[in-house]
Amino acid sequence: MAFDFKKEYKEFYLPKNKPEIVNVPKANYIAVRGKGDPNEKGGAYKQAISVLYAVAYTLRMSYKTDYKIEGFFEYVVPPLEGFWWQENIKGVDYTDKASFNWISLIRLPDFVTKKDFEWAVEMATKKKKIDCSGAEFITIDEGLCVQIMHIGPFDDEPATVALMDEYLVENGYVNDFTDERLHHEIYLSDARKVDPEKWKTVIRHPIKKLKC
């Protein structure tokens, strides 16, 4: 049976719909950076997602090619993730989606090296006939975070984030947003097939212990 990150690491992919604190380990990702409204048809975000999945599935199916990845085992491609922020705005202004900055990501198995990634970018560009040169191999060490399962449309996230903030106050923590530590979402539902009211999204924020 193929290795499934969601099942093997439930504490990071399947939290409950109430806030909880986790310490997220370092991991490698395919990433594409961009800016703009994610809902724009044919926009930068949609193109970025196409690139991510092209590279991700090239790596996933590499065992059927002449290129062999050391330590490879079959796995389920992990869910799409995203880091989001807006310049000079505290929190998130959902009425101004055009100002979103984002890093879209898909997690990589630990056995995938930078060399393997570069091979996949080249192969995906040739086979899918799309420019995958914007894809990056990055390592992220999130560390201490608060997370929750948000159920419903993205525009309803502020109410869920308020629950997270309240939980932090009650437990002696504060948000710790920086240029490197950002609002993080993990998308567990296929928005094309699932009603928005049933969308499941992990929301994760970086935190630190409040000094007395």
pTM of the model: 0.95
Length of the chain: 212
Span 137-182, pLDDT tens digits: 999 999 999 999 999 999 999 999 999 999 999 999 999 999 999 9
Span 93-113, pLDDT tens digits: 778 899 999 999 999 999 999
* Cα dihedral 30/35/39/43 (nearest 10): -80
- Structure-token pair, residue 16: 């409950």
**CA 121 remoteness from chain centre:** 19
How close are the terminal C-alpha atoms of the chain, in Å?
A: 49
